[in-house]
Structure formats: C-alpha cells, structure tokens
Amino acid sequence: MKITKVETFVLSNKLKENFFFSQWAYSERRICIVKITTDEGICGWGEGYGPADVIKSGINLVKPILIGENPLENETLWFKMYRKTLDFARRGVLVAAISAVDVALWDLKGKILKQPVSVLMGGQHRKRVVPYATGLYFSDGDNLVSKLVAEAKTYVEQGFKAIKMKVGLSISKDIILVKSVREAIGNDVNLMIDANHAYSLREATKLSRALEPFNIDWFEEPVSPEFYKHYKELRSKTTIPIAGGECEYLRYGFQTLLENNSVDILQVDICGAGGLSEAKRISTLANTKGVEIIPHVWGTGIAFHAALHFIANLEPIPGRLYAPEMYIEYDRTENDIRETLTAPSIKMKNGYIDIPQLPGLGIEVDEKVIRQFSTEILI
C-alpha cells in the first residue's frame, strides 16, 4: 500500500461576533486540514494548530517525502519530515505542519488496520473523559461582567463540571471577573484561568495571590513561555497550580519545560507540538518527572478526536485503584467549522465524553463542508 495523494485545505469562517483575549482579537476561524489518500482509496485526516496558510505551505514542503511511501510506517515518515525541516524551523509552524500529517497518518493507519488510534497507540486506559468548557473570552461593551456570568451559567446548565476563563485584561479587572464568575457558578464546578502569557512574574504573583480564595484549579500561561524559570518561581509563590506548554514544540522543548520544573500541568497541543507520535514521546518524558498532562485542544473535530485518543492512551499519574478522571479541553466559542466538519458530532453525556471506538480517529469528514468553507474554489 502506498500514499498517492496529500491534499491541503485552508478553511475560513468569519465570526458573527468578534472576541478577544490578552494578546489579540478573533474575527475569523482559519484552519488548515490535510487529507492523505492511498492507492487503495483509503484516506486519513489531520489538522495543524497555528497560522493556516503557513501550515499549508509546510505540508507542501514535506509532501514529496510522503508520496509513494507505506502509510503504516508513520514514525519513519515523521523522522524524515523532521530531518527535512529542522535546519529551518526546529520549533513553530513547520512542526505544526508535521503534526497535521502525523495525525492524518494515524487516522489512516487506524482505518487500514480497522482499529481505533488509541488502541494502536497501545491501548485505552479509560473509556471516557471529562470535558471542560473553554470560553469566557472578552468582548467589547460595558457589560462584560454580566455577559461572562450569563455564559458561565450556560456551561453549568449544559452539565460541564469545569470551566476555563480568560484573564489578562489587568489585575484589578481580572479579580472582578473571576470573583463574579466563581460566585455565579458556585463551588461545585471547577474553575481555571488562562492569561495567555499576559503578565510579568511580579504581576502574575500578585494576581495569583489575590485569586487564591476563589479555588482556582490552575493558572494557565501566567507569564511568557520563554521564561521557564519565572514559571518555576511563580509555583513557589502561590498555592494555585501552574499550567503551560501550548506554545512549546517537540520533546526537546518540553524537556526544557520539565527540567526547569516550570509547570504542575503540561499542556501539549497534539496538532502543534509534533502530532500524536511526538505527544506520546512527550508524555513519556513528563511521566519521568511525575508531571500531569492535560492537552491543549483547539480547532475542529479532527484535533478534538486526536486528543480523545491521546488522553485515552495516557498512563494515569499517579496510578491507583480508583484512577483520577482526565480532562479534555472543549472550546465552546463560536466555530461553525468545528460544529459541522466531522461526524459523529461530539456529545457530552452526564458530564462525560466517550472515547471513540471506531477505526482511526473515529470520524468522517464532510467534504461538502470543506467546499463550503474552503478559501479556494474546489471542484
């Protein structure tokens, strides 16, 4: 069996309502997905996390490595793609391009061997995971507190057991927002905060200490991802667990994060950091330090399902008779592409999402939806 086609699609959708976080505003969703097809007509789908048009170029760069090769040899192909690109980009969007291809190859492998990806990765340590709602972004207007409170209550009504909100406007505004959301959702729902590296160590320390009374499960990306030692120092100054890693790439980047004892929770993005193959290696590294992994998840059902399989395969840290439940990040902000591209749709039942048991990632991609959102005219 041989790979005969590697196709990339950039999908774009203008948002009805802009939203923003500490770094920039979103006015559209723009996502690069890849389809890899064999001479027997079987195909696998992948997705890259990051600037879609650059990822598309990156996939086109590595495409000649893939054509004519055996799709079951996905790790060999991963290595060839990595060696081909490392002189120019040992981190960043070229790694995201490799990630997209890697996820597609795992999907393809599962479909060829008629097994779920998580089983092929070694097995499922769990059959279901707990989604946490990612939302509560900032928007313009003077009623931000009431908008966020209403949104948070919606997540509670939908059955979410945990919610993550944005911070990073300013210390004083963040305190008001977090206090309001905590009061609105009560103490039975877990609450996490994410600054997207808006703060200096001094500011992050001040904010963490002020937010300690509100029972925060983790403070995500408090400071800039370059400052590994600032993460470590912050951990010693607050009781709130510190999370990070969504801007990190490959085992080498994560090793730096781990060697510096920077985080309590490591947030690898499978579609950015090197795909499922590399995420599994990163999980082994994290395991040697006893550090928990809760992946960063963004994008379509392809990225979400890749994360479901990865989490299913993660060894519990620590192991015990009644293993702790695992989270999956579930973005709830506006995204028509995410809602329509893949089937079956993502369903939460009693606060859980089941690990897919179908071959590959366990999804079908609707090519009508690709034509609808594609930035190019497709026949």
Cis peptide before 344 (omega within 30 of 0): yes
Cis peptide before 213 (omega within 30 of 0): no
The type of residue at 366 is D
What's the burial of 233, exposed, middle or buried (CB within 10 Å: 0-12/13-18/19+)? middle
Considering the complex, what minimum distance in angstroms separates the CB of residue 221 from Mg ion? 5
Considering the complex, what minimum distance in angstroms separates the CB of residue 293 from Mg ion? 14
What's the burial of 192, exposed, middle or buried (CB within 10 Å: 0-12/13-18/19+)? buried
The residue among 105 and 240 lying less far from Mg ion, judged by its C-beta, is 240
Six-digit token string for 171: 């210390």
Residue indicated by tokens 């999402």? 353
The residue among 22 and 124 lying less far from Mg ion, judged by its C-beta, is 22
Query: Is the CB of residue 255 less than 8 Å from the CB of residue 285?
Result: yes
The type of residue at 353 is I
Considering the complex, what minimum distance in angstroms separates the CB of residue 163 from Mg ion? 14
The site for Mg ion (CB under 5 A) is made up of 194, 220
Considering the complex, what minimum distance in angstroms separates the CB of residue 99 from Mg ion? 17
296 is catalytic: yes
125, 197, 230, 296: the catalytic one is: 296
The rounded distance, in Å, linking the Cα atoms of 292 and 283 is: 9
Considering the complex, what minimum distance in angstroms separates the CB of residue 268 from Mg ion? 12
Sign of the alpha-carbon dihedral angle for 116, 46, 334, 344: negative
The residue among 194 and 248 lying less far from Mg ion, judged by its C-beta, is 194
The residue among 248 and 278 lying less far from Mg ion, judged by its C-beta, is 248
Query: Is the CB of residue 132 less than 8 Å from the CB of residue 328?
Result: yes
The residue among 268 and 369 lying less far from Mg ion, judged by its C-beta, is 268
Q: Say whether 354 sits in a helix, a strand or coil.
A: strand
Considering the complex, what minimum distance in angstroms separates the CB of residue 239 from Mg ion? 21
The rounded distance, in Å, linking the Cα atoms of 26 and 14 is: 9
Closest by Cα among 92, 326, 327, 331 to 225: 92
Six-digit token string for 33: 């997905």
The rounded distance, in Å, linking the Cα atoms of 303 and 20 is: 22
The rounded distance, in Å, linking the Cα atoms of 32 and 98 is: 12
Per-residue burial over 133-145, b = 16 or more CB atoms within 10 Å of its CB, e = otherwise: bbbbbbeeeeebe
The residue among 44 and 245 lying less far from Mg ion, judged by its C-beta, is 245
Residue indicated by tokens 């859980």? 352
Considering the complex, what minimum distance in angstroms separates the CB of residue 262 from Mg ion? 15
Q: Running DSSP on this structure, what letter comes out for residue 67?
A: T
The residue among 228 and 298 lying less far from Mg ion, judged by its C-beta, is 298
Active site residues: 296
